[in-house]
Chain A
Amino acid sequence: MMLGKTAGGLFWMFRYLERAENTARLLEAGWRMALTRSADDGSNEWQSIITTAGMAQGYNEKYDSYTSGNVVNYMLRDRDNPSSIMATIDQARSNARTVRTALSSEVWEATNECWMVLKEELARPVSERNLHDVLATIRYRTSVVRGALHGTMLRNDIFSFARLGTFIERADNTARILDVKYYVLLPSAAFVGTNIDNAQWEVILRSVSAEQSYRWLNAGDTSPLGIAEFLILDERMPRSLAFCQSQIDKHLHQLEQEYGARQGSQALSEKISKRLSDSTISSIFQDGLHEFLRDFIDDIHKLSSLIEQDFRFTG
């Protein structure tokens, strides 16, 4: 037996942790791009990073231009940004406190330490020279929480709600990264094979920490179709849409087993999965990559609110 509020708290705790981690990856990719560019000031790149993170509106209210200093500070720690990494970690910990009774002490302590360390590190603006270390700390600290979850938690409904939060957030994140950049992946004669394109593709791969695994699998043959296929349909890739979807299916199925009742959210999830498995990368491109991703993002949002209702997160 679990309180609906607790299920919701777990779901959001892990959504926020995943979000913090994704924002850190995104920032890392943007930062690298800014460092390796020679011609322009990289403001286009920073703009697309901010858009991908879903922070465009708030950022534009505050700043007129995209400079690395402003973007980095805004994404990391700006108090005006409710989605900054610090705010997200704050939310994760606050949710962890509400669901304290559902967490092993190792998971709770890892979360609390993550918060304590980042509060300290992000108390002041982060200098360029320290940015890489700070981003590494964020990834490391959130990994410790995940490790504690895997190592110490029972595989029951508590675990399932935590994982559902993780994969809903991750699926949404990967889909948004692709969608903001989809034009780079479209076959366009003018740019194919140029350096700019390669750099853009690299950002995409880096922002989901996939540049290495992609290289392993494709032996240096980088193509837009290949990248899109990898991030959308490859079930071996832990941040691909297909992988996230298979995990969501799995955990909804486990909840069905545990509770002895099938919910509407499960039907929707299976529908989304079926669409993925029925697709090939060429059919997706043929029907329109952007449309495909928009639909997917919409579906994931619907799925998230359906889960919230089905399991009575808020009453």
Chain B
Amino acid sequence: MLIGPDQVRDPYEVYYDWFSNDDIKRLRKKSEDAEAFFRRIGITFNVYGQDEADERLIPFDIVPRIIAAREWARLERGIEQRVRAVNAFLHDIYHRQEILRAGRIPKEIIAGNEAFIPEMIGVNPPGGVYTHIVGVDLVRTGPDEFFVLEDNVRTPSGVSYMLENRETMLQMFPELFTKMKVRPVSSYPQLLRRSLSDSAPSGSPNSKPVVAVLTPGIHNSAYFEHAFLADQMGAELVESHDLRIEDGRVAMRTTQGYQPIDVLYRRVDDAYLDPLTFNPDSLLGVPGIMDVYRSGNITLANAPGTGIADDKALYSYMPEIIEFYTGEQAILKNVPTWRCSEPDALAHVLENLKELVVKEVHGSGGYGMLVGPAASKKELAAFEKKLRAKPANYIAQPTLALSTVPILTKAGLAPRHVDLRPFVLVSPNRIDITPGGLTRVALKKGSLVVNSSQGGGTKDTWVLGD
């Protein structure tokens, strides 16, 4: 928000003025109101394996994160370019594999990668779309300096927070919205519905595309979001036991018999989707759904096998992938990444271990990771051994100087690190990027970890109009 002691960044000017003239006690009270509101609407997430306290709130901070129109325009172009490239890549990798033939990315990265699904080879998703819903994770390091952390093209979550955070802000601070031109996000569910309907397969017996959301059930940590989106779209919320295959189509059990579904927005992982094709023990999936999919009689959003595009090993090749399919330089930067499989890179990493973050190629959720600046000598030495033993297992990245946004603390405003996840919808004929997104914030001073499971919170994200 601030550049210097008294210098406010442009997009925050009006807000800062309003804030400075408001009563801090009133604002703290509003903070409590927001929490009560979230509890009442039930926007909670479940914590696995805990009995009583198994529904928790993600902390919400009432200071918005504000993005200027010009900044957003650039982000939009960059995201659109990336999403196009990812879809072209997915089509290619499951068909002719031109990018491998051209030697632009090594074959080994695909072969033997669990996220690559051989059953998808030669399959044409209805409308040609692989990633209907994308939530790109970005961080900002300076004016106009955004880096992509992850592409999240499997089943990105968090969009319900984007929508409910805005609802809350509108209720609590209506006066701010009259002072500032904040672009609305509320049309997301309608756009999602339209985008999914537009991707429906042809030859359906339904007069209008029937859309359903597939959830693992009320014990899933994101159940609120599944129900919320189904509700907002006017779609049915189904579980696997509501579904069966009838006449070569996926159908749901209604009070009047079985009704075919055209588009399934599935919030179930690939591995659990079809026990006949993937994990045979899965109770969350629908036996035979992959056969229906291969014969083109249902749209699965996102398509199975999209995960290959946000595999960590592949991430470092995104600039090449973008160039290969679009003929352009990537607008949004990747975080510079050293692939330890390459001798020069390995040498550099070993020399600078103390400044770098080293990650396992197939790891996720922060496991098996080294944060150089925070590690002890002993830890560094131990990691060096592992790295030398299996260099191909690791990538390394610099620690970024993440930008901060203030939150409201007991002592008033205080800076905290944030990231940003805008939500993108892809249909056969258009790409919609909702102006806003989910801003996650590390609530602990100095922390870079924004995950809700580790003390992260959320903020409303305001994209200003021109």
Contact = CB atoms under 8 A, between A and B. Distances in A.
Interface residues of A, number: 24
B231 A101 contact: yes
B40 A4 contact: no
A100 B255 contact: no
Contact of B227 (A97, A113, A312): A97
A1 B202 CA distance: 22
A169 interface: no
A284 to B, nearest CB: 35
Contacts of B259: 1
B254 A312 contact: yes
A315 B241 contact: yes
A29 B40 CA distance: 32
Given A100-B237, A101-B231, A101-B236, A3 B254 contact: yes
A100 B236 CA distance: 10
Contacts of A315: 241, 253
Interface string B228-265: 10110001111101100000000011111101000000
Contact of A157 (B41, B255, B257): B255
Contacts of B252: 3
Contacts of A157: 255
B256 A261 contact: yes
A197 interface: no
B223 interface: yes
A259 B218 contact: no
Contacts of B230: 101
B9 interface: no
B218 A1 contact: no
Interface residues of B, number: 24
A3 B238 contact: yes
B56 interface: no
Interface stretch (A34-42, A65-73, A104-112, A228-236): A104-112
Nearest to B238: A3
A116 B231 contact: no
A311 B255 contact: yes
A315 B42 CA distance: 29
B39 to A, nearest CB: 7
Nearest to B233: A101
A2 B212 CA distance: 12
Max chain B C-beta neighbours (<10 A), residue from A2, A5, A101: A101
Contacts of A3: 236-238, 242, 252-255
B42 A4 contact: no
Contacts of B39: 112, 116
A108 B256 contact: no
A7 interface: yes
Contacts of A109: 40-42
A7 B255 contact: yes
A315 B228 CA distance: 25
Given A98-B218, A101-B236, A101-B237, A312 B255 contact: yes
Given A97-B218, A101-B236, A2 B227 contact: no
Interface in A145-163: 157
B253 A94 contact: no
B160 to A, nearest CB: 12
Q: Report, nearest first, the 6 A-B pairs whose CB atoms are least far apart.
A: A100-B227, A101-B231, A311-B255, A4-B253, A101-B230, A7-B255
Interface of A: 1-7, 94, 97-98, 100-101, 105, 108-109, 112-113, 116, 157, 259, 261, 311-312, 315
7 contacts: A3-B253, A5-B241, A100-B231, A101-B227, A101-B237, A112-B41, A315-B241
